[in-house]
């Protein structure tokens, strides 16, 4: 893509399809172009490193407190944890989302991603039931590839793909591989 404006994260069920994940309330995302974490606002905080072609960005969820409905949302880069944040759980769940907004950006979804936890040597498997995206805006699906097809002329030309199902205890992690980051890699992964 032209700028590499890709975001990966979690969003609420009816998240605005013309905003990057993490920009609006109740969402969170890791942005590949600047390595920042965006959590419910258009200004991010330094979180990890920038990403480029071939990098894999993952997002997962771990329940912190069932009583107060909070979860730890964690992000990975190339299989290693970058960091995490605590956020309240939405009653409708948090849906995997990928946002892009410059021409030619592409990511490949890894439905069977594995992540070894730091606490033990067990391996988590991604549930492959999320093989369809529930909502799309300026994003084309071609097999496991998601490609930005919007105008890419300004910061408001965002493409977003939101998964059909929320993350849960059975399916709590997803990952994308940056196929083409574009010129600036405006890619974000997040939850809302």
Is residue 79 a contact partner of residue 174, using CB atoms and an 8 Å limit? no
What is the enclosing helix (H) or strand (E) of 188? strand 186-191
Q: What is the pLDDT of residue 102?
A: 83
Could you list the residue range(s) of the whole structural domain that residue 137 is in?
5-191
CA quadruple 87, 91, 97, 102: dihedral sign: negative
Is residue 178 a contact partner of residue 50, using CB atoms and an 8 Å limit? no
Q: What is the pLDDT of residue 1?
A: 65
pTM: 0.68
Number of domains in the chain: 1
CATH at 69: 2.60.120
Q: What is the pLDDT of residue 4?
A: 74
Q: What parts of the chain have a pLDDT lower than 70? A: 1-2, 65-68, 111-132, 155, 168-171, 190-192
Per-residue tokens: 120: 């033990």
The Cα–Cα gap between 81 and 125 comes to 16
Please enumerate in sequence order all residues whose Cβ is within 8 A of that of 14, keeping only pairs 6 or more positions apart, or say none: none
Q: What is the pLDDT of residue 78?
A: 92
């Amino acid at each position: 893509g032209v700028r590499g404006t890709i975001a990966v994260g979690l969003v609420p069920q009816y998240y605005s399809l013309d905003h990057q994940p993490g920009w609006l309330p109740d969402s969170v995302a890791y942005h590949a172009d600047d390595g920042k974490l965006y959590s419910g606002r258009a200004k991010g905080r330094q979180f990890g490193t920038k990403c480029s072609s071939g990098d894999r960005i993952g997002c997962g969820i771990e329940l912190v407190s069932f009583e107060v409905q909070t979860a730890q949302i964690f992000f990975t880069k190339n299989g290693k944890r970058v960091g995490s944040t605590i956020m309240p759980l939405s009653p409708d769940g948090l849906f995997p989302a990928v946002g892009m907004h410059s021409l030619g950006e592409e990511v490949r979804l890894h439905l069977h991603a594995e992540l070894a936890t730091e606490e033990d040597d067990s391996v988590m498997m991604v549930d492959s039931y999320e093989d369809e995206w529930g909502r799309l805006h300026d994003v084309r699906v071609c097999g496991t590839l998601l490609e930005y097809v919007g105008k890419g002329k300004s910061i408001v030309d965002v493409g977003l793909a939101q998964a059909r199902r929320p993350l849960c205890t059975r399916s709590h992690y997803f990952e994308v591989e940056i196929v083409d980051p574009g010129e600036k890699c405006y890619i974000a992964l997040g939850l809302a």
